[in-house]
């Protein structure tokens, strides 16, 4: 059973984060408090790294992984503080634009390569900009654009931007981590960041990142204590955070990562027997479930004459879908669906009055997604076609 179906009287949370949290995970946040300088705390932190390496597609030779008691937006700033002044920002939505705005707030010299809302990042044009003129210090890119649901695959990012003349790739994987495969080491990604409240289905409050050993060794002075990449990475590796961390969330993260790696719930939610997918680890099964739900929403959109952002280019986020609802009143539609027990999001920014967003991520199940789509289908004027 998903956490959503266990919250009687409260609408299930299907916004693009924070998402629903299972009761077992919430319970782990209420365990008796421990000190942050104790062996118990060090054990919790040390237990995270093998799972985080699996999630990011790294190892302890290529990258360091770490957890910080901050938001993903703070980690955007952390990564940018660690690089030089010239930044090439690939923008195609509100959150890729946020990367650029933070760089500007830090006084960086920012050049944008902009794409239309709903499109992938224009990697070909970015590659040309990188090859011309003075070298850049960093490239910022959003793999899964949370505002539109468009996906720019990390594989394509690494391949097309391979000849970047020393520029570091800083990548937002906020709605991709835990929902789709990442292979940062293989694709040459220097820094990737996410939060816990999206596809990992945890409460907000922790930022997760992976940084290449090369970038870490050459990181520029950050002029910050709280957002010093070298300090936070080093103290995480030592299991000695420099300030009191959010201990309940770290415990919950450990429990959730161990659950995902084990794969038991994924098999249950996918209706699989243990012998099925025997060669697939828990993370691969989680990615399969997310892609199955994303494809189901794409099919639903087609059946109801709705436009899914990103679909025309063949790549969509496995965790969030943005749908143009064809002139319907978005606020009324969202309110009516909440009355039927499901809370989805309106569009973000420029899309607020024309689109809805569905966060089919985290610990939501295909079965509960069907219930959501049935309710939404009736509100749109027709039942969902049988699958």
**Closest-CA residue to 246 (of 211, 204, 210, 209):** 204
Tell me what pLDDT residue 280 has: 76
Tens of pLDDT along 342-382? 999 999 999 999 999 999 999 999 999 999 999 999 999 85
Which DSSP category does 344 fall into? -
Tell me what pLDDT residue 275 has: 60
The token pair that represents 355 in the structure block? 């689109």
**Secondary structure of 144-174 in HEC code, one letter for each residue:** ECCCCCEECCHHHHHHHCCCCCCCEEEEECC
Distance, in Å, from the CA atom of 53 to the CA atom of 55, rounded to the nearest integer, reads 5
The distance in angstroms from the start CA to the end CA of the chain is 21
Tens of pLDDT along 304-322? 999 998 776 667 999 999 9
Tell me what pLDDT residue 195 has: 98
Are residues 177 and 154 in contact, defined by beta-carbon separation less than 8 angstroms? no
Say if pTM beats, i.e. exceeds, 0.75.
yes
Given a cut of 50, the residues of the chain with pLDDT beneath it are 1-6, 383-387
Cis amide leading into 18 (omega within 30)? yes
Tell me what pLDDT residue 267 has: 87
Helix (H) or strand (E) run with residue 304 in it:
none
Tell me what pLDDT residue 382 has: 55
Torsional class of 307: left (φ above 0), alpha (ψ -120 to 50), beta (otherwise): beta
Name residues whose C-beta falls within 8 Å of residue 226's C-beta, 6 or more positions apart in sequence: 70, 74, 243
Which DSSP category does 240 fall into? -
Name residues whose C-beta falls within 8 Å of residue 247's C-beta, 6 or more positions apart in sequence: 33, 34, 36, 41, 44
Are residues 143 and 151 in contact, defined by beta-carbon separation less than 8 angstroms? yes
Instruction: Spell out the domains of the chain, with CATH numbers in brackets.
Output: 4-23+263-380 (3.90.1150.10), 24-257 (3.40.640.10)
Tell me what pLDDT residue 6 has: 47
Helix, strand or coil, per DSSP, at residue 239: coil
The token pair that represents 333 in the structure block? 């539609």
List the beta strands (DSSP E) in 69-184. 86-91, 109-114, 138-142, 168-172
Distance, in Å, from the CA atom of 52 to the CA atom of 178, rounded to the nearest integer, reads 10
What residues pair up with 211 in beta bridges, in sequence order?
64, 191
Distance, in Å, from the CA atom of 145 to the CA atom of 118, rounded to the nearest integer, reads 8
Phi and psi at residue 259, to the nearest 5°: -65, -45
Helix, strand or coil, per DSSP, at residue 369: helix
Are residues 373 and 30 in contact, defined by beta-carbon separation less than 8 angstroms? no
């Amino acid at each position: 059973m998903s956490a959503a179906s266990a919250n009687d009287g409260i609408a299930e949370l299907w916004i693009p984060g924070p998402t629903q949290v299972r009761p077992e995970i919430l319970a782990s946040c209420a365990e008796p408090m421990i000190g942050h300088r104790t062996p118990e705390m060090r054990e919790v932190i040390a237990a995270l790294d093998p799972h985080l390496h699996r999630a990011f597609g790294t190892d302890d030779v290529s990258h360091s992984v770490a957890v910080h008691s901050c938001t993903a937006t703070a980690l955007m700033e952390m990564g940018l503080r660690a690089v030089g002044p010239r930044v090439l920002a690939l923008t195609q939505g509100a959150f890729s634009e946020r990367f650029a705005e933070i760089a500007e707030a830090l006084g960086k010299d920012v050049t944008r390569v902009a794409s239309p809302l709903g499109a992938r990042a224009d990697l070909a044009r970015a590659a040309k900009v990188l090859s011309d003129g003075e070298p850049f210090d960093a490239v910022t890119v959003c793999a899964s654009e949370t505002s539109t649901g468009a996906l720019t695959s990390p594989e394509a990012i690494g391949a097309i931007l391979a000849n970047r003349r020393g520029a570091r790739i800083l990548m937002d994987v906020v709605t991709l981590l835990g929902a789709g495969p990442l292979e940062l080491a293989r694709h040459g990604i220097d820094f990737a960041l996410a939060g816990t409240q999206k596809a990992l289905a945890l409460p907000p409050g922790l930022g997760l990142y992976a940084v290449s050993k090369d970038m870490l060794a050459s990181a520029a002075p950050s002029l910050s204590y709280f957002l010093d990449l070298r300090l936070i990475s080093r103290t995480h590796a030592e299991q000695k955070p420099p300030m009191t961390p959010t201990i309940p969330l770290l415990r919950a993260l450990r429990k959730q990562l161990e659950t995902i790696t084990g794969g038991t719930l994924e098999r249950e939610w996918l209706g699989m027997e243990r012998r099925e997918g025997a060669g697939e680890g828990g993370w691969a099964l989680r990615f399969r479930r997310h892609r199955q739900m994303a494809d189901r929403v794409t099919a639903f959109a087609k059946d109801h004459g709705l436009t899914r952002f990103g679909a025309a280019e063949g790549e969509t986020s496995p965790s969030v879908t943005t749908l143009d609802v064809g002139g319907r009143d978005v606020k009324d539609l969202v309110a009516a669906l909440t009355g039927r027990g499901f809370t989805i999001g309106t569009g973000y920014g420029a899309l607020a009055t024309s689109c809805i967003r569905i966060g089919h991520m985290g610990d939501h199940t295909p079965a509960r997604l069907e219930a959501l789509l049935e309710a939404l289908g009736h509100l749109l004027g027709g039942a969902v076609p049988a699958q």
